[in-house]
Amino acid sequence: MLSVVRLMLQQIDQRRAASAAIEAKIMAVAKADPAMRRLATIPGIGGLTAHAIVTAIGDGKQFASSRDVAAWCGLTPRGASSGLKRRHGGISRQGDIRLRKLLALGARTIIRSARSRAARGHGGGAGTGRQDRPHCLGGAHRRHDLPAAGGRRPTPASLAPGSRRQARCGRLRG
């Protein structure tokens, strides 16, 4: 039994070393490529994420704007409209799931570092809300204290106890 556990630990160490070697190769490629170096200057985007973006998207000439890139990655809210009424759901989750996960991880890291800076008293309180997710991934359009896309903030009368909005939405989240 002990020999089996030792064999398994050796395999784990070998896989860890192989993973570190692959990561080092990816980082070397990311440092050598000018597009990946430019992407890595964005907060929350490191060498691995920059490599994944360039690998998945290429030079990006097929997209007219950054909004098209976000839609391709699946980071835009799914919309449905009927006449003049627009409804925005959660993110569409189309596109490359690994790239979307890397971008979400980078955004969470930025929010976490901003929170820790704010807790230490070093600047603004970006991301000081309850959610640990960026608004583009956490359903900010469903929060009652934020305006919907293209909409207006709710007025105090519409949020008053007994109003239709208050009854429809339940309690307010803050």
Instruction: Give the tokens for residue 87.
Output: 């409804």
The string of pLDDT tens digits covering residues 98-110 is 888 898 899 899 9
Strands 77-82 and 85-91: antiparallel
What would the 3-class secondary structure string for 32-64 be?
HCHHHHHHHCCCCCCHHHHHHHHHHHCCCCCCC
Q: What is the pLDDT of residue 164?
A: 54
Helices (H), ranges, 58-153: 66-73, 97-119, 135-138
The tens digit of pLDDT for each residue in 117-174 reads: 888 876 554 544 444 445 445 444 444 444 444 445 555 555 555 555 544 444 444 4
**Which residues lie across from 87 on neighbouring strands?**
80
Structure tokens at 147: 């305006």
Question: So what's the pLDDT on residue 150?
Answer: 47
Please provide the average confidence, as pLDDT, over all residues in the chain. 76
pLDDT score, position 120: 81
**pLDDT score for 7:** 95
d(CA 100, CA 56): 11
30-to-74, 95, 167 alpha-carbon distances in Å = 24, 22, 53
